């Protein structure tokens, strides 16, 4: 292939991929404007998800609910401001400080990755598979089964967090899996057989087309 043809293909391919993302969900196109108009989700104290997913959750959250979250951030701040009792587990010390400053009423626990263990983070996530997160995942183990209204999986070792967090959700409650379109999360639904799944796609910052899945536990 000539050098000029290679340059053309390199220029066209990203555009084709973006076009396919748009076609995946016509309603999701509207989320581009929502992202551009409000600044980052962190600045807006909202979950760092696409706007369709944020709206879906906002219609189902009630003051006094309990939430457990792997991975803290805008969702932690937002939930706390809705009157939800939030426990969030975070591996990044600097990020814990920032989140805690914005929602001092939340229970935010720093549990960093370790250099040895059994459960290594996924290579696709920020840790790049460098550390083990056995203690991080196990933070949910002492919570009574069927006692949490919302479990959010948005951090490291997501498949194992889904497996470990599911029993803690109340009947009628939900488990939320962010970036559920990652290939390594394709089997997550198999671990939640019988749960009703709602998957919402759209753009979030930076301009990424991603999916957030809501799994509702049978009541």
Domain total in the chain: 1
Q: Helices 30-38 & 51-58, crossing angle to 10 degrees?
A: 80
Q: Mean pLDDT over all residues of the chain?
A: 85
Identify the bridge partners of residue 210 per DSSP, sorted by sequence position.
202
pLDDT at 156 over 50: yes
Contact 161, 155 (CB under 8 A): yes
Residue 207 banded pLDDT, cuts 50, 70, 90: confident
Q: Which tokens hold the place of 104?
A: 């001092």
Terminal CA-to-CA distance of the chain, rounded, Å?
59
Phi and psi angles of residue 108, each rounded to the nearest 5 degrees, phi first: -110, 120
pLDDT at 111 over 50: yes
Can you tell me the distance from the alpha carbon of 15 to that of 200, in angstroms, rounded to the nearest whole number? 23
pLDDT in tens, 78-96: 999 999 999 999 999 999 9
Contact 205, 195 (CB under 8 A): no
Measured in whole angstroms, the distance separating CA 45 from the mean position of its chain's CA atoms is: 15
Q: DSSP character for 11?
A: H
Instruction: Identify the CA nearest to 215 among candidates 194, 184, 201.
Output: 194
Query: What domain range includes position 85?
Result: 3-216
> Poorest-confidence range of 83-97, 160-174, 201-215?
201-215
Most confident of the following: 11-25, 29-43, 160-174: 160-174
Name the pTM for this structure.
0.83
CATH code for position 77 = 3.40.50.150
Mean local confidence (pLDDT), 126-147 = 97
């Amino acid at each position: 292939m000539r050098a000029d043809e290679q340059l053309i293909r390199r220029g066209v391919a990203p555009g084709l991929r973006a076009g396919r993302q748009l076609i995946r969900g016509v309603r999701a196109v509207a989320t581009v404007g929502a992202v551009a108009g409000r600044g980052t989700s962190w600045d807006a104290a909202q979950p760092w998800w696409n706007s369709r997913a944020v709206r879906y959750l906002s219609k189902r959250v009630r003051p006094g609910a309990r939430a457990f979250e792997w991975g803290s951030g805008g969702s932690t701040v937002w939930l706390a401001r809705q009157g939800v009792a939030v426990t969030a587990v975070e591996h990044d010390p600097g990020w814990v400080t920032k989140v805690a400053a914005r929602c001092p009423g939340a229970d935010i626990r720093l549990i960093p990755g370790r250099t040895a263990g059994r459960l290594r983070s996924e290579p696709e996530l920020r840790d790049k598979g460098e550390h083990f997160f056995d203690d991080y995942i196990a933070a949910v183990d002492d919570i009574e089964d069927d006692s949490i209204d919302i479990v959010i999986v948005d951090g490291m070792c997501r498949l194992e967090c889904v497996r470990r967090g599911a029993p803690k959700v109340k009947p009628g409650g939900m488990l939320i899996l962010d970036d559920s379109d990652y290939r390594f999360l394709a089997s997550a639904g198999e671990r939640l057989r019988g749960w009703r799944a709602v998957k919402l796609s759209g753009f979030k910052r930076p301009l990424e087309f991603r999916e957030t899945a809501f799994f509702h536990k049978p009541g």
